[in-house]
Structure 1
Amino acid sequence: MDFLPVFLNIKNQACLVVGGGEVATRKAMLLLQAGAHVSIVSPELDAVLNEYLACGKIQHRAEYFQPGHLESIVLVIAATDDRVTNRQVSAAAQQRQIPVNVVDDPELCTFIMPSIVDRSPLLIAISSGGQSPVLARLLRAQLETMIPAAYARLAAMAGNFRNQVKQHFTHPEKRRIFWEKALQGRFAAMVLAGKDRAAQDYLLQSLQQEKDEPPQGEVYLVGAGPGNPDLLTFRAMRLMQQADVVVYDRLVSPAILDMVRRDATRIYAGKERNRHTLAQESINQLLVRLAQEGQRVLRLKGGDPFIFGRGGEEIETLAAHRIPFQVVPGITAASGVAAYAGIPLTHRDYAQSCIFVTGHLKNNSIDLDWPHLARPNQTIVIYMGLLGLPVLCQQLIAHGLPDSTPAAIIQQGTTQKQRIVTGTLHTLPGLAEDAHLTPPTLIIVGEVVKLHENLAWFEPVLDAENAPANILALDPETKQPLE
Structure 2
Amino acid sequence: MKLYPLFADLSGRQVLVVGGGVVGERKVAALLEAGARVAVGAPDLTPALRGWAREGRVQWRSGRFEASWLDDVWLVIAATDDAALHRDIVALAEARHLFVNVVDDAEQSSFHVPAVIDRSPVTIAVSSGGHAPMLARLLRERLEVVIDPVVGSVATLLAQLRHRIRARIPDLALRRRFYERLLHGPVQSLLRRGQWALAEASAERLLDSVESTPSGSVVLLGAGPGDPGLLTLRGLRALNEADVILHDRLVSVEVLALARRDAERIEVAKQAGNHHTTQAQIHALMLEHASAGRRVVRLKGGDPFVFGRGGEELEFLRQHDIPYEVVPGITAALACAAYAGIPLTHRDHAQSVRLVTAHCKNSIDTLDWKALAQERQTLAVYMGNSELPLIQAQLLAHGRAAGTPFALIENGSRPEQRVVTGTLANLAEQATAHDVQSPALLILGEVAALAGSLGWFGRPPLGVTPALHAPSPKAAAA
Q: Give the corresponding residue for 1:457.
A: 456
Q: Does the 8 Å CA contact 1:318/1:325 hold for their aligned counterparts? A: yes
Q: Give the corresponding residue for 2:236.
A: 237
Deviation at 1:185, TM superposition (A): 2.9
Q: Does the 8 Å CA contact 1:361/1:387 hold for their aligned counterparts? A: no
User: Secondary structure at 2:290's aligned position in 1?
Assistant: helix
Deviation at 1:194, TM superposition (A): 4.4
Distance of 1:283 and 1:375 partners within structure 2 = 38
Q: Does the 8 Å CA contact 2:419/2:461 hold for their aligned counterparts? A: no
User: Secondary structure at 1:101's aligned position in 2?
Assistant: strand
User: Secondary structure at 2:293's aligned position in 1?
Assistant: coil
Distance of 2:180 and 2:67 partners within structure 1 = 49
Q: Counterpart of 2:175 in structure 1: which amino acid? A: R
Q: Give the corresponding residue for 2:177.
A: 177
Are residues 1:316 and 2:315 paired? Answer: yes
1:276-315 paired onto structure 2 within 5 Å: 276-315=275-314
Deviation at 1:278, TM superposition (A): 1.0
Q: Answer with 447-456 or 66-75: which moved more.
A: 447-456
Q: Give the corresponding residue for 2:336.
A: 337
Deviation at 1:195, TM superposition (A): 4.1
Q: Counterpart of 2:17 in structure 1: which amino acid? A: V
User: Secondary structure at 1:124's aligned position in 2?
Assistant: strand
Are residues 1:200 and 2:177 paired? Answer: no
User: Secondary structure at 1:426's aligned position in 2?
Assistant: helix
Distance of 1:148 and 1:16 partners within structure 2 = 34
Q: Does the 8 Å CA contact 1:151/1:192 hold for their aligned counterparts? A: no
Deviation at 1:277, TM superposition (A): 2.1
User: Secondary structure at 1:276's aligned position in 2?
Assistant: coil
Distance of 1:350 and 1:196 partners within structure 2 = 65
Q: Give the corresponding residue for 2:217.
A: 218
The 1:17/1:261 distance shift into structure 2, 3 A limit, reads same
1:53-452 paired onto structure 2 within 5 Å: 53-211=53-211, 213-360=212-359, 366-452=365-451
Distance of 1:235 and 1:124 partners within structure 2 = 24
Distance of 1:131 and 1:298 partners within structure 2 = 37
Pairs aligned (count): 463
Q: Counterpart of 1:208 in structure 2: which amino acid? A: D
Q: Does the 8 Å CA contact 2:174/2:213 hold for their aligned counterparts? A: yes
- For the aligned residue pairs, the C-alpha RMSD in angstroms reads 1.8
User: Secondary structure at 1:142's aligned position in 2?
Assistant: helix
Q: Counterpart of 2:135 in structure 1: which amino acid? A: L
Q: Does the 8 Å CA contact 2:358/2:364 hold for their aligned counterparts? A: no
User: Secondary structure at 1:210's aligned position in 2?
Assistant: coil
TM-score normalised to the size of structure 1? 0.92
The 1:119/1:402 distance shift into structure 2, 3 A limit, reads same
Deviation at 1:228, TM superposition (A): 0.1
The 1:140/1:12 distance shift into structure 2, 3 A limit, reads same
Q: Give the corresponding residue for 1:470.
A: none
Q: Does the 8 Å CA contact 1:361/1:385 hold for their aligned counterparts? A: no
Q: Counterpart of 1:191 in structure 2: which amino acid? A: L
Residues 409-433 of structure 1, C-alpha deviations (whole Å, 9 max, x = no match): 1011111111111111112222222
Q: Does the 8 Å CA contact 2:406/2:445 hold for their aligned counterparts? A: yes
Runs of 4+ in 1 over 6 A off after TM superposition: 361-364
Q: Does the 8 Å CA contact 2:221/2:300 hold for their aligned counterparts? A: yes
Distance of 2:215 and 2:104 partners within structure 1 = 51
- Percent identity between matched residues is 44
Structure 1 unaligned blocks of 5 or more:
461-473
Deviation at 1:443, TM superposition (A): 0.5
Deviation at 1:71, TM superposition (A): 1.1
Q: Does the 8 Å CA contact 2:223/2:329 hold for their aligned counterparts? A: yes
Distance of 2:297 and 2:235 partners within structure 1 = 10
Distance of 1:326 and 1:98 partners within structure 2 = 52
Structure 2 unaligned blocks of 5 or more:
464-478
Q: Does the 8 Å CA contact 2:225/2:413 hold for their aligned counterparts? A: yes
The 1:368/1:432 distance shift into structure 2, 3 A limit, reads same
Are residues 1:36 and 2:36 paired? Answer: yes
TM-score normalised to the size of structure 2? 0.93
Q: Counterpart of 1:127 in structure 2: which amino acid? A: S
